[in-house]
Amino acid sequence: MCLIRIGLSEVYIRASSKGRPSTIREVKASCIGQLVRISGIITRCSDVKPLFQFAAFTCEECGFEIHQKVTGCVFLPLFGCQSKQRGLKNPKGNLIPQLRASKFLKFQEAKIQEFAEHVPKGHIPLTMTIHLRGELTRKVAPGDVVELSDILLPIRYTGFRELPYGSFADTYLEAMSVTHFKKNYEEYELREDEEEQIARLAKDGDIYNKLSRSSAPEIYGHEDIKKALLLLVGAPQRKLKDGMKIRGDLHICLMGAPGVAKSQLLKHIINVATRGVYTTGKGSSGVGLTAAVRKDPVTNEMVLEGGALVLADMGICAIDEF
């Protein structure tokens, strides 16, 4: 992210990549300092916190004001006044932080996890840390399938953590742009020709059979199973006169012999749905299906990290080989 000042205004220029998105496992140490493009599912987001961009200090003796530019999440505040107005007598005075004169930037940390289909057999899904700043905060939420253009940067261990790790460094992704793969139905903006096509299809009495035949057309047969899976997509919620709400979605259990395309049908319906999570017995061991308690590295508080069922809230969760 590049900052350009034009008068009193600030213009942020963000870079984006149009190449093939890489998987999280393809991000290596050789990518440090480079612009990479990855895709995955957001598993956790921290609260938006103010981050120092410029820290202001005032000398308690001479009143001299000093500004310090902050480039990272951790910085060492200045100690002692460096003003030449004080002369040689006691040249260093105590500095008092001035929060009103300081400048802050919105900051949010998120975790991105690789897709279940990219996880090798016998492994757990890999995750990476993302730093979102400024207008990119609150752009993602747990369960969102996104594509990110970001820069891989290192974080060197400091303090007591530096002793056991030595020259090792952790890495994070500095987000430059965020693109959502899927949107909610309310966020779609239909063109006029699309609205006409939907209205024409709604009048077709055979639309249910046509939709089932267009679902996973590479798989022959299984018409009843395809129709049942279609009921998971776009089912409306009914509200009765007494205020009771009847859910529009349902639970489906697929049973069959190996090799009858159960997994392919589940993956297809997940790709069609606006919000869906596909997991297996090998991919749900990291956090689990519900949630796990972990320590937030930003706030050092114990937080709940959602599993597959939490990430698929208001959507579809397909559990294979469960």
Q: What is the pLDDT of residues 276-302, one digit of tens each?
A: 888 776 555 555 677 777 777 666 667
How many structural domains are present in the chain?
2
Q: What CATH number is given to the structural domain containing 163?
A: 2.40.50.140
Q: Is residue 75 part of a domain?
A: no
Structure tokens that stand for 306 in this block: 């959602």
Query: Alpha-carbon distance 118 to 47, whole Å?
Result: 29
| Phi, psi at 129, each rounded to 5° | -90, 135
Q: Is residue 159 part of a domain?
A: yes
Indicate whether 286 and 159 sit together in one domain: no
Which residues in the chain come in under a pLDDT of 50?
Answer: 7-8, 88-90
Task: Give pLDDT, residue 89.
Answer: 47
- Tell me the residue range of the domain where 225 lies: 205-320
Q: Is residue 173 part of a domain?
A: yes
Task: Give pLDDT, residue 88.
Answer: 44
Indicate whether 20 and 124 sit together in one domain: yes
Indicate whether 220 and 165 sit together in one domain: no
Task: Give pLDDT, residue 77.
Answer: 80
Indicate whether 164 and 114 sit together in one domain: yes
Q: Residue 268: how many CB atoms within 10 A of its CB?
A: 19
CB of 93 within 8 A of CB of 110? no
Task: Give pLDDT, residue 180.
Answer: 82
Q: Is residue 61 part of a domain?
A: no
Query: Alpha-carbon distance 159 to 171, whole Å?
Result: 17
Query: Alpha-carbon distance 2 to 226, whole Å?
Result: 49
Task: Give pLDDT, residue 48.
Answer: 86
